[in-house]
Structure 1
Amino acid sequence: MKRFVAAVAALATVWSAPSPAAARPAPPPAAEHGWVTSTLRHMSLEQKVGQLFSTYVYGSDATSPSAADRSANLAAFGVETPAQVVDRFHLGGVVYFAWSHNLDNVRQIATLSNGLQTAALGEGGKDDVPLLISTDQEQGLVQRMPAPSAQFPGSMALGAARSPAAARLAAEITGRELGAVGIRQPYAPVADVNVNPANPVIGVRSFGADPALVADLTAAQVAGFEQGAQVTSVAKHFPGHGDTATDSHTGLPVISHTREQWETIDAPAFRAAIAAGIDSIMTAHIVVPALDPSGDPATLSPAIITGVLREQFGFQGVVVTDALNMAGVREKYGDARVPVLALKAGADQLLMPPNLQLAYDAVLNAVRGGELTEQRIDESVRRILSVKFRQGLAGSPYVDADAAVASVGSAAHLAAVAQVTDQTLTAVRNDAGLLPLAGADRSVLVTGWNNAAFNPIGRLAGGFTARGSRTTALPATLPSASAIAAAAAQAAQHDLTVVLVNKAWDTAVGDPRASQQQLVAALVATGRPVIVVAVRDPYDIAALPGVSTYLAAYTYTPAAMDTLVRALHGDLSPHGRLPVTIPAATDPATTLYPIGHGLTW
C-alpha cells in the first residue's frame, strides 16, 4: 500500500494552491452584515449555543409525529415532537434521515421543513433564526431523497465519466431538488482521494485515486451546488479520509501519509473546493500525525482545523464536524468534552452529538466557566448566520410544497440522470468478445446481489425481457451454499447469466460478502457464458478468478441498470474509464488494471 501511495503522489498533478489572502472572501455585503449583526446582538447565550448544533429529530411531521416517534424524541431529547426539540435547544440545524422518518415523500418533506422553520422562528422576532436543514445526498451509495427524485450515479461513477460538466450538472439538479423541499445544506461532495482499495468507508463515495481528477470534479460539484442550485455544499472529510483501513464510525483511523504525500494526494481537492467558493467543509475523525502529532482526531485538532484549514488554506466558511456520535471522535475523550474541544479546535457546527442535552450544557458551562469565551461562540454563530442569509433563509425560509412536487423528479431531471449515467459505465474485461451481445433469441438468468429499494435484479431482467430474451430473475444476495447450488443449476439451463456483485472483494473473516466469490465461481464452472457486473467497488474483479467478461457500474440505481442493458446489447458504447487502479488480490503492488483503463465497442 505504501508503494501505491508513493506512486500516486509521484504521478499526481500538483494543485497550485491559492495563497490564504487569495482564498479569503471579500467583506460581506451590507445587507448580510446588517442582518447577521442585528440578529446576533439580540440573541441570548443559550440561543447562540443552540445555533452551533445540528441533529436529527424523529417524525415525518413537525408537530404531529407518530406515537413511536414521540417516544423516540422523548427518550433522546426530553420532548415529544420535532418542533419541541427545535424550540427547546434553539437548534441551528436539523439533519434528515429515512431511519428518523423524515423522508417519506416529496410533499411530506417540504411540509416538515416548513413546520420546523415555524418552530425555529417562533414569534418572528429579531432573536428568532431560521434553520439550516441538511442531509447526506452524495448520490450513488449514499442518498437520502426518496423516489421520484433524480437518482444520479455517485462520485466514483462520475470519476469514470471524467466530465466536470456532468459532475456539475448532477450537483446542480440534486441541489435544486433538495432546495425545493427545504434542504439547503447537502453533505456533499466527497473530496477524499481513495488510494486504498481496502478502504471500508469511502470507496465509491470518492471520485477516484487521481488527486487532480478528484480536485477538478470536487470544484465542479461545488459550483453546481453553490452557484447553480444556490445551496450550501459541504466538502468532506478534511483533511482526507481516502487512505484508511478503519471505518471512523466504529474506530479511529490513523493516516500514515507524510506531509509531502498529504500535500500531493489529499490537499488538492480541498484547496480546489475553497477556490471554487465553498461555504462549508466537514472534518474527519481521523488521526494524521504528519499534521498533528498529538494523537487527537482532526475534528478536535487546533493544528489541523485552525492551523491548516483556517490559517494556511485561508478558509473562512463554516466548519462542520462529522457526526459526534461516531466512535472515531469518542475514543479519547468523553461526550461532554468532545463538543467543547471541537469548538476550541476551530469548528463551528456540531453535528449529531450522542446526547444533545449533555453536549449543549457542556458548551454553556464552558462559556460560563471561562474555558470558552462568548466572543469565540459569536465567531461561529456569525459564520452560520452568514450562510443562512446567503441561502435566502432570512427573507424566505419556507418552501412551496406544490412546486416541490412538480419539480422533484421532473422529466427534464430524469433525462439528465440518464444522460450523465450513460457516460459512467466501464467495460473492464471482454476477453471472449462476448460483448456486445449478438441477436436476441436467448434465455438469460439474472442473479446475484440485490437491493430491496432499487431492485436492480428486477430492473435488469426487465430490460432483457423487453429486448426479446426469455429471462429469469433470481436474487442471490450474500447467498448460502444451497442458494449458490440453485443458482448454478439455473445457469446451466440458460444461454447466458448476468450476475451482480457488491463488494465481493471483502474477504474479512466471517464476512458473508465473501460468498459472492463462491457464487461467481460456481456460475463460471457451468461452462455457460457469464457476465459479471460490479454495482459498487470496481475492485471486485481481483477476487474473481476465471471471469472473462466484467463491467463496473459503480451503483445499482435504475438508470445504471438501464445503461447497462443498452451497453450489453450494443445500443450504447461504454465510455467510462477506471478512476482507480485495481491491484491484484494477492499482491497490492501488482496492477491488474490501471487508472484510465476502459474498453468500448
Structure 2
Amino acid sequence: MLTRRTLAPLAVVLLLLSSACDADGGAGAGAGGGDGESPSPDDAARVAEELLADMDLDEKVGQTMVLTAQGTTAEENAGLIEEHHPGGFIYFSENLEDAEQIAELSNGLQEQAAGNGTDVPLFLGIDQEQGMVSRLPVGTRFPDAMAVGASRDPEMARSRAGVTARELGALGINLDYAPVADVNVNAANPVIGIRSFGSDPELVSEMALAEAGAFEEDGVVPVMKHFPGHGDTDVDSHTGLPRVEKSRDEWEKVDLPPFESAVEENVDAIMTAHVFLPELDDSGEPSTLSDNVINGVLRDELGYDGVVTTDALNMEGVRQTHDDGEIAVRALEAGADQLLMPPDAAGAADAVRAAVDEGRISEDRLDESVRRILELKVRRGLLDAEPVDTGAAAGTVGSAENEEAAQEVADASVTLLRNEDDVLPLDSDAAVSVSGAGAEEISAALEELGYQVTGSAGDADVAVVGTEDARSDPEQAAPVEAAASAGTPVVVVAQGTPYDIEELPDADGYLATYSAVDVSRTAAARALAGEVDPTGKLPVDIPGTDLEYGDGLEY
C-alpha cells in the first residue's frame, strides 16, 4: 500500500479522495484551502485515518502539542520540529518583523515539517483578536470586539474577521485564536473587558458565530474561547486561578449560549478557560483539567466533537497544583486535544508518553485527539496548501480597501452616552483642546476636518479628554476636573471600556469607542465634528449609573 512515507502530502490526498469518489460515485472534491471545494466529512475522515495509521507514538504525542515559535527564522525551530514533531506553532510579536519575513518564516516551518517524517503540515496560529490583542506588526488594525457589539451589525463582525483571515492567509498563518465568546458581565474583569462583544448572550453568540464563519470561509481555523466562560471573573488567569461563583442555572443563562451555538454550528475549535466554576466541578481544578467540564459538559452534554485546545499552559491559572508534565496528562484525560504552549515541551511529551505506556491514557484515547486534529487539517486544506508568495504578502496586508473596512467598523461603533446642553456636535468654528489618551491622533483628525486645536483647555471653547480605562487609573480624571473647574465644557472620549463614565461625573459629553486603535480615534473625531452620527448602542450595562444595555444618544 502507498503510504504517507512514500508520497508527498498532496499526492496522498488526491489518491485517497479519488478512490473515495470512485467508490461513492460522487464528483471529485478538492482538499480545501485552494481552488477546490472542501472535502466531505467522510473523505476528511478517510485521509486522517490513513495518516494516523502510519504514525508512531512520538508522532501522535507531537500532534497534540502547539509550541511557542522561537526567534524569527525557521532554522531556529528546527530542533523543536525534529525532536517533538509538533502539531503546530503559535507566533508572538517577538517572532514577527514585516510581511515578507513572516511569510518566509511560515513557509520555512512548513517545509521543515514536511521533511521531518510525519509530512503533516503545521497549524501556524496567532492571537490576532484585533484591538488590544493583536500580535502582527503589519496589517489592518480593527477595533476591539466590544466596538463590533456596539454596532449591532453582524456584517461588521464578518468584515473584521474576513479581512483578518485574508491577511493572515497571505502570511502563511492558518489558525487564529479568536473570536472571544465570553459574555462580559463583570465591569471589574481584568482580562476580558472590551475583548468581549458585550454582556448579552444573544449578541455575543451572533457576533462570535459571524466571525467564526468568516474565518472558516477564508481558510483560517477559528478558535472560540474561553469555555466555560471567562466573562464574570475578577482575576486574570495569567496570574492566578479565577473562581466563578454562580449557579448552574445562571451559567446556562449567561455564559453557555455562545458556546452552545458554536457546537450547533460545528465550529472548528474551542479553547478552554483556566477558571474554577464550582457548580460545574467542585474538585478545585481549573476547567482546562476538568473531566466534568470538557468530557462531561462540552463533549457529552453539548455533543461537541471538534478540536478542543487548552489555553496557554504556561499561565499561572493552570499551574497551581500540579507540575507541568502532570498538567499535560490531565488536560488530555479531561478531553482536550491540543496542548497549547506547554512551558516544558520535552517534559510534557515525556509525561504523556509515560501515561500511555502505563495505560493511564489509552492509545485509543490519544488517537481520538490526533484524529480530530488531522481531520481539521484536511478540512481546512493544509495538506495541499501551496507556499505563500512572500513578495506579494506586503501588498495584501494593510491594503487601502482593508483600512476602509476597519474605519467603517469604527464609525459604526461610536456611542454617545452624555450630551449636556448639546455640546456635541462641535460648532464648525469652535476652538478645541485635546489631551489624554489618543490626543495626537484625535487632534490630527480634527485639524483635517478644519478645526482649530489649541494648546490648553483655558483657551478652548470645548475641551476633549481621551481616557483609556480610567476606572483603574484615577489620574485620568484630573484633566476633566481641571477643564470643568475653568468653566470649559468637557467631552470625554473613552477608548477602553465604557465603564469609565461612572468615574467622570464632570463630563458634559461622553463618547465611547471601545478601542484605542487609530481608526477608533479617527471615528471619535468624526463623531465630535458631526461627520458621522454616533449610532452605536451600549453592549453592556454600566454599574453605578442609570445607563443600560442598548442605550445611546444620536444627533
Given the two structures, how large is their TM-score scaled by the length of structure 1?
A: 0.84
C-alpha separation in 2, matches of 1:472 and 1:56: 48
Query: Partners in 2 of 1:530 and 1:462 — Cα distance?
Result: 19
Partner of 2:183: 193
SS across alignment from 1:315: coil
| 8 A Cα contact 1:54 1:349, kept in partner | yes
Matching residue of 2:23 = none
Give the deviation of 1:467 after TM superposition.
2.6
Secondary structure of 2:353's counterpart equals helix
Q: CA deviation at 1:427?
A: 0.6
Partner of 2:411: 422
The question of 1:166 aligning with 2:159 is answered no
Cα deviation per residue 1:342-397 (whole Å; 9 max; x = unaligned)?
00000000011122221121111111222112211111111111111112111115
What pairs up with 1:96-245 in 2 under 5 angstroms? 96-98=91-93, 101-122=94-115, 127-147=118-138, 149-226=139-216, 228-245=217-234
SS in 2 for 1:522: helix
CA displacement at 1:592 relative to structure 2: 2.5
Q: Which residue of 1 aligns with 2:530?
A: 570
- Separation in 2, partners of 1:566, 1:341: 52
Shift of 1:296: 1.0
| 2:452 matches 1:470 | yes
How far is 1:34 from its partner?
2.9
Shift of 1:106: 1.3
Q: Is 1:85 the counterpart of 2:80 in the alignment?
A: yes
Q: Does 1:598 align with 2:552?
A: yes
SS in 2 for 1:432: helix
From 264, 269, 293, the counterpart of 1:304: 293
Alignment RMSD = 1.7
In the alignment, is residue 582 of structure 1 matched against residue 542 of structure 2? yes
User: Is 1:445 the equivalent of 2:433?
Assistant: yes
1:536 matched to which residue of 2?
496
What residue in structure 2 maps to residue 498 of structure 1?
Answer: 464
How far apart, in 2, do the equivalents of 1:318 and 1:397 lie? 24
Q: Name 1:55's counterpart in structure 2.
A: 67
1:514 to 451, 469, 474: 474
Deviating above 6 A after TM superposition, structure 1's stretches of 4 or more consecutive aligned residues are: none
Identity %: 47
Relative to 1, partners in 2 of residues 1:361 and 1:559: Cα closer, same or farther, differing over 3 Å? same
**Match among 402, 406, 421 for residue 413 of structure 1:** 402
Q: Give secondary structure in 2 for the equivalent of 1:249.
A: coil
SS at match of 2:148: helix
User: Residues 436 and 568 of structure 1 are in contact (CA less than 8 Å); yes or no, is this contact kept in structure 2?
Assistant: yes
- The answer for unaligned runs of 5 or more in structure 1 is 1-26, 64-80, 450-455, 474-489, 507-512, 585-590
Per the alignment, residue 17 of structure 2 pairs with: none
Conservation of the 8 A alpha-carbon contact between 2:446 and 2:526: no
Q: What are the within-5 Å matches in structure 2 for residues 344-493 of structure 1?
A: 344-396=333-385, 398-440=387-429, 442=431, 444-449=432-437, 456-471=438-453, 490-493=456-459
Contact 2:430/2:462 (CA < 8 Å) preserved in 1? no
In structure 1, C-alpha distance between the alignment counterparts of 2:252 and 2:294, rounded to whole Å: 15
Letter in 2 for 1:534: A
1:557 equivalent in structure 2: 517
Asked if the contact 1:159–1:207 (Cα under 8 Å) also holds between the matched residues in 2, the reply is yes
Q: Is the 8 A contact 1:222 1:276 kept in 2?
A: no
SS at match of 1:199: coil
Q: Contact between 2:491 and 2:509, CA under 8 Å: does it hold in 1?
A: yes
**Map of 2:26 onto structure 1:** none
Structure 2: state its 5+ residue gaps: 1-38
Contact 1:222/1:277 (8 A) holds in 2: no
TM-score by length of 2: 0.90
Q: Distance in 2 between matches of 1:115 and 1:523?
A: 56
